[in-house]
Amino acid sequence: MLELQNGQKVKLKFSVSPISDIEITCTVKWYENDRISLIFPEKKRVYIKDLPEGKEVEVLIYTSSGIFIFDSIIINSPLENDFVIELPDEKKKIQRRKYIRAPINLKLILKRDDTEYKTNTINIGGGGIRFVTREKLDIGGLWKFSLFLPRGRSINGLGRILYTVLRGNNMASVIAFTDITETERNRIIKLCLDEEIKNLKLKKLY
């Protein structure tokens, strides 16, 4: 069951052109069994025209038991007395863990003393990274890392090797973050959520 309460944050994602999507965060004003009334953020009023009645939007809601993602439509636009979206019966629930993980392949560079190790990730999350290794890395070893995100961004920090296991013909290691800013951690979490939403869309096509 989707737990809702007044004042809760709801993230909406919608298209403003064939090649451009926008994300805004609204606040729950009230809710019923099949609909949610939202408070539209004043700073985003320029996008009100892009949310007419009948517009399709993606919705993401964090709750105490998990993260819910679903497709919705605008029932009343933000120009009405109450901005209202549909609350459908079909909702995808992502089990709440400390940090969500996603199978994303990114360039990763590890450095320690005079050693530099270049590899790729198997999956990533807000708490750490699983990556391909050619050799068994020492458990507990502390490494500086640079993780290269899409669009030329990179994240730098410190991490500790948790374990290395055989994975097919290669090995895989996991490094847990020990020093990373919350801003950079949130970038990783957002990337994981975007990947989850993309995969849900692909499943609906088949």
Q: What is the torsional sign of CA 169, 170, 171, 175?
A: negative
The pLDDT, as a whole number, for residue 64 is 64
Q: Count Cβ atoms within 10 A of the Cβ of residue 35 and give its class: 0-12 exposed, 13-18 middle, 19 or more buried.
A: middle
Q: Which two tokens stand for residue 11?
A: 């993230």
Q: What is the DSSP letter of 203?
A: H
The pLDDT, as a whole number, for residue 105 is 94
Going along the chain from its start, the domains and CATH numbers come out as 9-95 (2.30.110), 101-200 (2.40.10.220)
The pLDDT, as a whole number, for residue 201 is 65
pLDDT means per 10 residues in the chain (206 residues)?
A: 82 85 92 94 92 92 76 94 92 64 92 92 91 86 92 90 80 90 86 80 58
The pLDDT, as a whole number, for residue 91 is 79
The pLDDT, as a whole number, for residue 170 is 76
